[in-house]
């Protein structure tokens, strides 16, 4: 039997006789004449109040209806006299499906995020994590809608790869060789060294150079040992790749993508947003609305460095042309200087991977990063080098084997076209959208250095 969820019951226009509803008990409170059960099934933030009279045959069960237990209630959906909610269920019968007991840790409220991370099998039952994961699901759907509505094709790029897209050497090795084996890579399962992918971009380019506009949306893996609030070893990335796009068009698409998602967030996650705004970050809704209403700022890397140098600010990491922008620099630009998302473009060539398109100045590449207040970088992208000779030079300079990347160079050998793309960290976007400040709390099961629960 499929029963209506609480979300649909609460959205009811009128009372309904004879409903069955199932969920988990958040609280139970007894009065002289009846017991009140707050029931939640995760379909929405709000719970359903169940009022069960002490005269019912099931009344002897009430003392066993503890926080965390699962129950099935039949009764009538009636207008709630209390005024706190539009409807409540007046029970005719309450059945316990699965009991809970006094050791259930979520009986108490106010657990720290650290503690909740240690119980990732139970934390989706909390208001905060439940809200985050409802938002995560709706945003994933909106991502597909955004691209599909514009004739992008969804490509499933491989998770196991023999290429190091970002060239940063931060890859997890995939092997069936026993630990400490002296066997050569040729004797391994794939006959060569293989890794978990850090990005689907290179394979995405193959499909963009055939279907014109494509996107990937899947898990990516980085073995960078940075224990920060915005790095995970396994995270999801959205990577569109477009033939016939230059950097300008790429930046435009990135901005449109973020705005589409925020619009959808306001339309589909209103209740969750109110919750985050109240309990997580009181500036959230105003900041998201501002992001939606204003054009993103744009600044070249060179100008950004000047702004930082002239800011009079003392940063922990030095600011110098040719150095990476650190998180503190990115946040200064987005939060304080521009007070808005800002796209920084044309980075020094020496800082960036081999595939980025060289600019005419010879020292920068057509790269762009979107930085947002509170987080810093959420998107990184570029126009790709479509000129075979320059690509081959860049590959040589990065020590890439011509043989391994021949397929990639072939895309320039046969019908090369200007093309561009970007990668948006899904969790980084979710942090921005919810105000949740730690990446571990926007991904169902976080994988970070030293942590891989379940």
214 forms beta bridges with 153, 241
Cα distances (angstroms) measured from residue 398 to each of 239, 328, 351, 393: 23, 28, 11, 9
| Among positions 40, 421, 431, 433, the unique one binding ligand 4AD when judged by CB under 6 A | 421
And the tokens for 82?
Answer: 């209390």
CA 61 from centroid of its chain's CA atoms: 42
Task: Output 26 or 357, the one with its CB closest to ligand 4AD.
Answer: 357
The answer to whether the beta carbons of residues 344 and 329 sit under 8 Å apart is no
Cβ atoms < 10 Å from Cβ of 170: 16
Choose the binding region for ligand 4AD from 25-33, 64-72, 91-99, 416-424 (rule: CB under 6 A): 416-424
Smallest separation (angstroms) from Mg ion to the CB of 425? 9
DSSP string, 170-224: ---EE--SPTT----GGGSTTSS-EEE-S-SHHHHHHHHHHHSEEEEEEEEE---
Smallest separation (angstroms) from ligand 4AD to the CB of 236? 8
Tell me: does residue 422 bind ligand 4AD (CB under 6 A): yes
Binding track over 195-234 against ligand 4AD, x by CB under 6 A: ----x-x--------------------x-x------xx--
Residues from 8 through 27 that contact ligand 4AD (CB under 6 A): none
Contact of residue 248 among ligand 4AD, Mg ion, none (CB under 5-8 Å per partner type): none
Contact of residue 237 among ligand 4AD, Mg ion, none (CB under 5-8 Å per partner type): ligand 4AD
| Among positions 425, 432, 433, 441, the unique one binding ligand 4AD when judged by CB under 6 A | 425
Q: What is the DSSP letter of 334?
A: I
Task: Output 91 or 233, the one with its CB closest to ligand 4AD.
Answer: 233
Contact of residue 287 among ligand 4AD, Mg ion, none (CB under 5-8 Å per partner type): none
Q: Could you tell me how many residues of this chain bind ligand 4AD (CB under 6 A)?
A: 24
Task: Output 130 or 380, the one with its CB closest to Mg ion.
Answer: 380
| Among positions 23, 373, 380, 421, the unique one binding Mg ion when judged by CB under 5 A | 380
Task: Output 12 or 227, the one with its CB closest to ligand 4AD.
Answer: 227
Cα separation, 211 vs 206, whole angstroms? 9
Name residue, tokens 């992918």: 197
And the tokens for 334?
Answer: 């987005």
The answer to whether the beta carbons of residues 152 and 213 sit under 8 Å apart is yes
Cα separation, 275 vs 373, whole angstroms? 20
Number of residues assigned to the chain: 454
Task: Output 166 or 272, the one with its CB closest to ligand 4AD.
Answer: 166
Binding footprint of Mg ion on the chain (CB under 5 A): 380
């Amino acid at each position: 039997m499929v029963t209506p969820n609480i979300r649909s019951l609460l959205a009811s226009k009128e009372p309904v006789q004879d409903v069955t509803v199932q969920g988990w008990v958040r609280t139970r409170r007894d009065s002289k004449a009846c017991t009140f059960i707050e029931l939640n099934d995760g379909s929405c933030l709000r719970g359903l109040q169940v009022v069960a009279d002490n005269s019912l045959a099931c009344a002897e069960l009430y003392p066993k209806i503890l926080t965390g237990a699962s129950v099935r209630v039949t009764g009538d959906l009636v207008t709630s006299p209390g005024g706190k909610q539009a409807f409540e269920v007046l029970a005719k019968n309450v059945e316990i499906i699965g009991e809970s007991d006094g050791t259930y840790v979520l009986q108490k409220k106010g657990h720290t995020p650290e503690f909740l991370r240690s119980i990732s099998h139970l934390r989706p039952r909390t208001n905060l994590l439940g809200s985050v994961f409802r938002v995560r699901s709706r945003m994933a759907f909106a991502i597909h809608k955004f691209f599909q509505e514009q004739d992008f094709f969804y490509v499933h790029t491989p998770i196991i790869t023999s290429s190091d897209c970002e060239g940063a050497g931060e890859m997890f090795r995939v092997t069936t060789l026993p630990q400490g084996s002296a066997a050569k890579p040729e004797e391994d399962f794939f006959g060569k060294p293989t890794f978990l992918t850090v990005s689907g971009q290179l394979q995405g380019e193959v499909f963009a150079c055939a279907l014109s506009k494509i996107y990937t949306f899947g898990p990516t893996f980085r073995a960078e040992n940075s224990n920060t609030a915005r790095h995970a070893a396994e995270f999801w990335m959205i990577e569109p790749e477009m033939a016939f796009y230059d950097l300008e068009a790429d930046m435009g698409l990135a901005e449109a993508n973020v705005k589409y998602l925020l619009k959808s967030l306001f339309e589909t996650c209103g209740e969750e947003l109110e919750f985050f705004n109240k309990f997580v970050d009181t500036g959230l809704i105003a900041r998201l609305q501002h992001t939606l209403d204003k054009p993103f700022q744009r600044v070249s890397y060179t100008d950004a460095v000047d702004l930082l140098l002239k800011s009079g600010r003392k940063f922990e990491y030095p600011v110098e042309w040719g150095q990476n922008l650190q998180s503190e620099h990115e946040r200064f630009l987005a939060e304080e200087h521009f007070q808005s998302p800002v796209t920084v473009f044309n980075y020094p060539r020496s800082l960036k991977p081999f595939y980025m398109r060289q600019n005419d100045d010879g020292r920068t590449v057509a790269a762009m990063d979107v930085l947002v207040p509170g987080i810093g970088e959420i998107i990184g992208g570029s126009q790709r080098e479509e000129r075979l000779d320059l690509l081959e030079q860049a590959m040589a300079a990065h020590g890439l084997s011509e043989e391994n990347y021949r397929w990639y160079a072939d895309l320039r050998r046969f019908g090369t076209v200007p093309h561009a793309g970007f990668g948006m960290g899904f969790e980084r976007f979710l942090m921005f959208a919810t105000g949740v400040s730690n990446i571990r709390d926007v991904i169902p099961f976080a994988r970070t250095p030293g942590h891989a629960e379940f």
